[in-house]
Amino acid sequence: MLRLTTPISDEEIRSLKTGDTVYLNGVIVTGRDAAHKFMIEHFIRNEPQPEEVELDAILKELLDGGVIYHCGPVVKQHEDGSYSFVAAGPTTSIREEVYEPEVIAYYNLKGVIGKGGMGPNTLKACQEQPAVYFHAIGGAASLIAQAVKEVITVYKLEFGVPEAMWVIRVEDFPVVVTMDSHGDSIHEQVAAQSQAKFAELIAA
């Protein structure tokens, strides 16, 4: 069992292999479709507008050596204005394939958490960065929420609660490395094996 704390170093990332179980600690940021599209269009491919320069700088600091989590949480707001996560399960990552390589490079990401894996462009970005893809357990949203010890702040709440960028502190957040920085992907292996089995079945 491995434990990593953000920010994560290149050396730590390169030491990881597919199949490794990791407990993540430290600060991570949630981000789904709206957040990825926003970062691409407002920061990565274009100069940020004056009113957005500060947010770009904040995200650069938070994500440098950090982790982004594909998650649409269920969130409770308390009387004092603070928030807590009620459910924090992963969402399907492949939707972010068109954005993720650029986000990884621009923000010096070391990890992406989600479910279902990602495609060849993200796998290539993981090799170049380096970075890894962490698979979180689908269907365990309430259990995962227990690893979220603090909701530090939130950005772009106007996107809606699931699509906002929540900055959270986690302790022993359980994940498995399914795409590593050496070009290996469990998701590609499973797909290839499934296709081979399917071809075998229809040929019978």
The predicted structure's pLDDT at residue 140: 65
Which CATH number covers residue 19?
3.20.130.10
The predicted structure's pLDDT at residue 123: 97
The predicted structure's pLDDT at residue 107: 98
Domain count, the chain: 1
Decide: residue 196, CB within 10 A, 0-12 exposed, 13-18 middle, 19+ buried.
exposed
The predicted structure's pLDDT at residue 191: 45
Domain encompassing residue 140 = 2-203
Q: Which of 84, 103, 99, 114 is nearest to 179 (CA)?
A: 114
The predicted structure's pLDDT at residue 196: 44
Provide the whole-model pTM: 0.90
Catalytic residue annotation: 36
pLDDT tens for the 204 residues of the chain, in order: 799 999 999 999 999 999 999 999 999 999 999 999 999 999 999 999 999 999 999 999 999 999 999 999 999 999 999 999 999 989 999 999 999 999 999 999 999 999 999 999 999 999 999 999 999 986 667 778 899 999 999 999 999 999 999 999 999 999 999 999 999 999 765 444 445 443 444 555
